[in-house]
Structure 1
Amino acid sequence: MRHILHIDMNAFYASCEQSKDKSLKGKPVVVAGDPSKRHGIVLTASYEARKYGIKTGMPNWQARTLCNDAIFLKPDFDSYIQYSIKMINILKEFSPLVEQFSIDEAWVDVTGCEDLFGSPIEIAHKIQSRIKDSLDLPCSIGISENKLVAKMASELKKPLGITELPLEKIKDMIWPLDVENLIWIGSARSKKLKSFGINTIGDLANTPMTFLINLFGKPGKDIYYFANGIDLSPVRPYAITAKSFGNTITLPRDYTDIEDIKRGFLSLSEMVGSRMRKQNFMGKTVSITVKDNNFKSITRSRTIDYTVLTEDIFNAAMKLFKENYDTNFKIRMLGVSVSNLVKIDENIQLCLFQNAKYENLKKLNYAIDMIRDKYGFDSISRGLILTGEKIKQLAPLSGMKNFDPRPHSYFEFG
């Protein structure tokens, strides 16, 4: 029997802010986009703020009406990523089998670690205390025999909860829950299920698989397994398979100058290239998304030679922009992504021109990454970016944001 832990950081962004600034402890903290920069949505609310009914996705104006004393903070994604990295490193102290699910979630397989650290529940308490003592961050932990049920268990007690959920107790603890609480069942699927009288996870578990396949297609089989707590997938370090890497920037104002556009695309190319290098990927299809002040959006792509260089991504993005926009543009949003990916260690036929110059640039890119990992993303910047207004902070840097979230990316069934 396996022993799987799912660690879920509580109110992660807000907790990071309270960890950095102790004066925020015990206060209603809301991490939200800046309304003046067209980001007026709550990203995360501390548990003190949640008591007033403030929720993720709520407009800032509504959150303010619920709590006049709420402290609104702009997101600091670089700092959240650093906290996430430190959290994962703590988990690796207890087992080499750590699989990150998102910026604030991970599974740990502690099977066979009992002689070193104690029973699974003792290990959970040690991990929770270690994260609290080292990072001053709260987390909830679920314990079960597979990843799926461990994740559901971690949702049952928040904040700072530890829940052990053996498979034989699923009927008592999970089946009575609303069907929308099951992983991968969103509001649309929930509404559809409830129209057939399937209101709880137990109702879903007792629904014939053939009916669910007819209702949802191939995912119906997965949904049936989920409801019955069946998951045979192992905890796999580095298991997430990337389909693309991308970032977008909603600009602080409408950009009309080509130099400002260049800075925007270069900032985005830096982020995308850095994330590709960290995950050991290279790609050959560069895409841009551009939205103008009339909310007209276009997406264009270009295939280049396989690359991991910021410079190549930026050059391709600028060529796409110049080919598709005239000089009368007024831009409010930019996006860059790279797809058609392969692992860098795979045997890929590279362009003959990726010679010494390419290798030197590659070394430079990795050196920049190392400096940023140690001293922060802002510790080193290219000259073009430094000459313009700082826009990098407006782009979400969640490392998991652009990975394929479908069930088969993380769960396998026999």
Structure 2
Amino acid sequence: MTVESFLKTMKKNKVIFLLDMDAFFASCHMAEDPSLKNKNLVVASPNRRAIVTTASYNARKFGIRAGTPVFKAQEMCKDLYIAYSNFSLYIKYSEQVFDIIYNNFTKDFEVASIDECYIDMTKVWRKYGTVRSAAQALIDMIYEQTGLTCSIGISTNKFLAKMCVDFNKPKGISILLEKDIEEKLWPLSVKEMYMIGPATEKKLNENNILTIKDLALSNLNTIIDLLGKRGLTLWYWANGKGSDQVSREASEFKSIGNELTLNFTTTNYEEIEEIIYEISLKISNRAKQRYLQGTTISIVVKYLDENSNEMYNDKQRKKHIVKQESIQDATNDPEIIYAIAKQCFYELWTGQPILLLGVRLSNLTNEIEKSKQLSIDEIDLSEGIDYNKVNQIIYNLNLKFGKDKIFTGDKLIKYMDKNIVQSKFLKNDDVHISNEQIIDKWKK
């Protein structure tokens, strides 16, 4: 593409950057401790069943990728260095990156995740001579001020910018315009397309849609029949179209949730609580990665029709209930999500065999955009206690050793409430005790 043709395209379109930090979690650890830079570093949670969440580029040379079990990664690379997940560290560097954009380039950016954002450079890039020079200036400034590297995808809409950012990583700049999609986008497998996961890929492949070109040239009604309303969006994207609206208030996520369908039914409350806890951890991690907090926590339950005495089948899997609770202060704390989800579960469960459990965090806000005035009881007057570190220690210990091993005083009442609710099922006891009565008993 010539400079003249690019300028002609840009005159009637927006210039959208997608900034994506390179191996972000691993890079944060290396920026914090430069002695780690040449190590084969991976990031993982501190527990026995941990998987790699991020692999440094050194570790990737051994074939290690996100999702690789840690024990397998250690077999693939004998001198592997494991850094434990530290979201307060990632948040610190994420804020620095977004501050650089805000203070030096433009306020028109949209946070997509903790390590990724869309930037509307339409009114800014000319100061740097060319669009590519503007992108390089941003990459250089981030590296100089944080020690982190990033890559930038450039187009006239968010989807194409997102799709091309991986063309040239790390520390790369890629440009993909609508007129180039037949050459650069269409030959890719559909699984390479943003927002197409394994289930959608399978559906498309079963209908002989193997590449993005196949999707783009398919009959739109066929795609909608296959995938519902989402099919319209994917078909639209495959044809190079997409939104160019960048909003600091926007979030691609209305809610974050996970559900687990069991291979068996269970009424064992310990198994049920363990599942709720594991799902809550996953939701918390996803929310923290996207720098999101929510004020509504929901539990989703499916169970057998209690009036049926026959072995269950798909038609009998019809009891699907949801219970939610809203809180005043937005959170992504796994312990709070777990405590409220568990409380909601016990409020609606009457002992039926459970087929599916899910937890959802909704009414989301972006922590980066949120400003909050501290109340007097939130101000730390101890001058020696870093409560962020305390919460991180509690989180890591519970992640390693299991739920409810360590908790703070403010969770004590919920913990005791849980025991009382459980006694209803363990002892057929319908006695209800108030929080005041519990406190009185503990004082005695």
Normalised to the residue count of structure 1, the TM-score between the two structures is: 0.67
* Residue of structure 1 equivalent to 2:40: 28
1:116 maps to 2:130? no
Whole-angstrom distance in 2 between the partners of 1:42 and 1:280 = 24
Whole-angstrom distance in 2 between the partners of 1:181 and 1:157 = 15
1:319–1:94 Cα change, 3 Å = same
Q: Is the 8 A contact 1:183 1:226 kept in 2?
A: no
Q: The residue matched to 1:108 in structure 2 has which SS?
A: strand
Q: Cα RMSD (Å) of the superposition?
A: 4.3
1:237-291: CA deviation from partner (whole Å, max 9, x where unpaired) = 12016645789xxxxxxxx9xxxx9xx9xx99xx89x98xx979654x66599xx
1:307 maps to 2:328? yes
Q: The residue matched to 2:14 in structure 1 has which SS?
A: coil
Aligned identity (percent) is: 34
* Residue of structure 2 equivalent to 1:407: none
1:125 maps to 2:146? no
Q: The residue matched to 1:308 in structure 2 has which SS?
A: strand
* Residue of structure 1 equivalent to 2:68: 58
Q: The residue matched to 2:388 in structure 1 has which SS?
A: helix
| Paired residues for 1:142-181 under 5 Å | 142-181=153-192
1:331-365: CA deviation from partner (whole Å, max 9, x where unpaired) = xxxx98654x488xxxxxxxxxxxxxxxxx97247
* Residue of structure 2 equivalent to 1:399: none
1:67 maps to 2:77? yes
The letter of the residue matching 2:159 is L
* Residue of structure 2 equivalent to 1:141: 152
Whole-angstrom distance in 1 between the partners of 2:374 and 2:230 = 41
* Residue of structure 2 equivalent to 1:87: 97
* Residue of structure 2 equivalent to 1:347: none
Whole-angstrom distance in 1 between the partners of 2:45 and 2:294 = 30
Whole-angstrom distance in 2 between the partners of 1:280 and 1:138 = 27
Whole-angstrom distance in 2 between the partners of 1:305 and 1:193 = 38
Q: Is the 8 A contact 2:59 2:80 kept in 1?
A: yes
- 1:319 deviates by 5.7
- 1:94 deviates by 0.8
Whole-angstrom distance in 2 between the partners of 1:96 and 1:176 = 35
1:80-136: CA deviation from partner (whole Å, max 9, x where unpaired) = 111111111112221111101111111000111134344321111011111111111
Q: The residue matched to 1:155 in structure 2 has which SS?
A: helix
* Residue of structure 1 equivalent to 2:201: 190
The letter of the residue matching 2:189 is D
Whole-angstrom distance in 2 between the partners of 1:365 and 1:244 = 30
User: Which is bigger in relative contact order (C-alpha 8 A, separation at least 6)?
Assistant: 1
Q: Is the 8 A contact 2:106 2:124 kept in 1?
A: yes
Structure 1 range deviating more: 49-58 or 164-173: 164-173
* Residue of structure 1 equivalent to 2:113: 102
- 1:197 deviates by 2.8
* Residue of structure 1 equivalent to 2:27: 15
Unaligned runs of 5+ residues in structure 2 are 1-12, 259-269, 302-319, 350-357, 366-372, 403-444
1:318–1:57 Cα change, 3 Å = closer
1:193-231: CA deviation from partner (whole Å, max 9, x where unpaired) = 223332221222111211211221221111111111101
Whole-angstrom distance in 1 between the partners of 2:25 and 2:65 = 13
* Residue of structure 2 equivalent to 1:330: none
Whole-angstrom distance in 1 between the partners of 2:197 and 2:338 = 36
1:239–1:315 Cα change, 3 Å = same
Bigger Rg, which one: 2
The letter of the residue matching 2:183 is D
* Residue of structure 1 equivalent to 2:57: 47
Q: Is the 8 A contact 1:6 1:143 kept in 2?
A: yes
In the alignment of these two chains, the number of paired residues is: 332
The letter of the residue matching 2:111 is Q
* Residue of structure 2 equivalent to 1:296: none
